[in-house]
C-alpha cells in the first residue's frame, strides 16, 4: 500500500494541513469522534457510511465512479486468467472480482445522491466534475514535486539501445496485455536495437512468464527504488490505460514521467487528454498496434521526442504540482472552518 497513489496523496495532504492550519486545528487519523471529517476515497461507499455526518464532511474523490460494468468484467477475467498471483487462491480472487464489479452496476444518479450529502466534494479533474454533475464540487488537481521529478542526464550502458518502458500495477486495466503485445512486435522488428522494460508495482513471476511467452527480451521488474533514474533512462514511456477505472483521476506515474520531460504514448480517454493535451501521443485503448506505430514514429524523430518532453513538463508546472494541490486544500479548509460562508 506504500506505493499506492491514493495512499501517498492522502498522506501528503494530511501532513500539509497539519503543518499549515495552525495549533487551533488538531488533525487525527481514523478517530470516530471529531468536529469535522475528511474522507479520502476512490469510490462512493464511504459517503453512504458517513451520510449522517455529511454536513461535517469534506470528501476527496480521487477516481471515476461511473465505470462501465462490461469493461470491468472483461479486465477482471483477463486478470484471473493471465495475471493472478500464483499464491493468490482462486476463490479469494473471484470474491474480490465480484466486489469490484458490483458497484459498477449501480447507476451514477444513486452514487451522486450520497455524494451530494457531503458538505463538499473535491475532485481531481474537470472531467470527473462534469461527468458526475455534482452541485458542490471543487476541482483540486493532484500534484507532484517537480523538484524531485525532473529531467536528469543518464549515461546509458548500451548507447545503441532505445529504451521503451512501462510503469504500473500488474493489472489488465492498465493495458498490461497491450504493452506485452506491442513490445513483442517491436522486438520482432528491431531486435537488440530496442530494450523493452516493464516496471511492475510488485513483481509477478506469473506475469513475467506470460510476457516471455511473447518475447524473451521483455525485461520484467518489480518495484523500483530509484524511479527517477528509471524514468530518465527511458526514451519513451507507454501508459495504455484502458478505461476510467484504470487509474486515479490524475495518474501519478503519468505526471511524474511528464515532469521528467519524457515523451509518452497513452490512451484517448477524456481525463487523460485533459492532463496531457498536446504533450503526448494519443492512441485508442485496446490497440497495441497503434502503440507500435507511435513508438516507431518517436524512435525515428528525436526532435518530436524533445518537443513532447518539454511540453509535458510545462503542463505539470502549470497545473499539477504539490504546491498548487496543497494551496487548493488549504483555501477550502480556511473557508470551511472560518464559518465565513458556505463552500
What pLDDT digit, counting tens, does each position of 112-171 carry? 999 999 999 999 999 999 989 888 899 999 999 999 999 999 887 766 789 999 999 888
Domain spanning 162-319: CATH superfamily: Glycogen Phosphorylase B; (3.40.50.2000)
Separation of alpha carbons 169 and 223, rounded Å: 10
Separation of alpha carbons 103 and 46, rounded Å: 13
Question: What is the grid cell recorded at 187?
Answer: 522486438
Say whether pLDDT at 2 is over 80: no
Separation of alpha carbons 129 and 256, rounded Å: 23
What confidence score (pLDDT) does residue 32 get? Answer: 72
What confidence score (pLDDT) does residue 298 get? Answer: 98
Q: Is the pTM of this model over 0.75?
A: yes
Q: What percent of the chain has pLDDT over 70?
A: 88
Q: Which is it for strands 37-41 and 120-123: parallel, antiparallel or unpaired?
A: unpaired
What pLDDT digit, counting tens, does each position of 306-324 carry? 999 999 999 999 999 999 9
What confidence score (pLDDT) does residue 88 get? Answer: 62
Angle at 236 (CA atoms; ends 232, 240), nearest 5 degrees? 120
Confidence category of residue 96, pLDDT binned at 50, 70, 90: low
Question: What is the grid cell recorded at 157?
Answer: 550502458
Q: N- to C-terminal Cα distance for the chain?
A: 32
Say whether pLDDT at 343 is over 50: no
Q: What is the average per-residue pLDDT within 96-108?
A: 76
State how far the alpha carbon of 289 is from the alpha carbons of 45, 186, 209, 295, 296, in Å.
Answer: 38, 10, 22, 10, 11
Residue 242: alpha-carbon gap to chain centroid:
12
77-81, 265-269, 294-298: least confident range: 77-81
What confidence score (pLDDT) does residue 180 get? Answer: 95
What confidence score (pLDDT) does residue 208 get? Answer: 92
Residue 116: alpha-carbon gap to chain centroid:
25
**Which residue spans of the chain are classified as CATH 3.40.50.2000?**
162-319
Q: Cβ distance 341 to 335 under 8 Å?
A: yes
Separation of alpha carbons 190 and 28, rounded Å: 55
Amino acid at each position: 500500500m506504500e506505493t499506492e497513489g491514493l495512499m501517498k496523496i492522502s498522506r501528503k495532504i494530511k501532513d500539509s494541513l497539519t503543518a499549515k492550519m495552525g495549533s487551533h486545528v488538531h488533525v487525527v487519523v481514523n478517530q470516530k469522534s471529531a468536529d469535522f471529517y475528511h474522507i479520502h476515497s476512490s469510490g462512493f461507499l464511504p459517503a453512504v457510511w458517513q451520510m449522517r455526518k455529511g454536513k461535517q464532511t469534506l470528501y476527496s474523490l480521487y477516481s471515476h465512479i461511473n465505470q462501465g460494468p462490461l469493461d470491468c468484467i472483461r479486465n477482471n477475467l483477463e486478470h484471473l486468467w493471465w495475471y493472478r498471483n500464483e499464491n493468490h487462491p482462486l476463490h479469494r480472487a473471484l470474491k474480490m472480482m465480484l466486489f469490484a464489479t458490483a458497484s459498477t452496476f449501480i447507476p451514477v444518479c444513486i452514487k451522486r445522491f450520497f455524494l451530494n450529502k457531503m458538505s463538499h466534494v473535491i475532485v481531481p479533474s474537470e472531467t470527473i466534475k462534469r461527468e458526475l454533475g455534482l452541485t458542490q464540487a471543487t476541482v483540486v488537481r493532484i500534484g507532484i514535486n517537480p523538484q524531485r521529478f525532473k529531467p536528469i542526464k543518464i549515461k546509458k550502458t548500451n548507447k545503441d539501445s532505445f529504451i521503451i518502458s512501462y510503469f504500473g500495477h500488474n493489472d489488465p486495466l492498465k493495458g498490461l496485455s497491450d504493452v506485452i503485445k506491442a513490445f513483442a512486435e517491436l522486438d520482432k522488428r528491431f531486435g537488440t536495437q530496442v530494450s523493452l522494460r516493464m516496471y511492475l508495482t510488485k513483481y509477478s513471476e506469473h506475469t513475467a512468464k506470460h510476457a516471455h511467452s511473447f518475447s524473451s527480451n521483455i525485461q520484467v521488474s518489480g518495484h523500483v527504488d530509484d524511479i527517477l533514474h528509471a524514468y530518465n533512462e527511458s526514451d519513451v514511456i507507454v501508459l495504455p490505460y484502458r478505461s476510467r477505472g484504470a487509474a486515479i483521476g490524475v495518474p501519478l506515474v503519468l505526471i511524474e514521467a511528464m515532469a521528467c520531460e519524457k515523451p509518452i504514448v497513452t490512451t484517448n480517454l477524456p481525463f487523460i487528454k485533459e492532463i496531457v493535451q498536446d504533450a503526448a501521443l494519443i492512441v485508442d485503448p485496446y490497440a497495441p498496434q497503434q502503440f507500435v506505430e507511435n513508438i516507431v514514429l518517436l524512435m525515428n524523430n528525436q526532435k518530436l521526442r524533445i518537443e513532447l518532453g518539454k511540453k509535458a513538463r510545462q503542463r505539470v508546472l502549470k497545473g499539477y504540482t504539490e504546491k498548487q494541490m496543497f494551496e487548493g486544500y488549504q483555501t477550502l479548509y480556511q473557508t470551511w472552518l472560518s464559518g465565513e460562508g458556505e463552500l
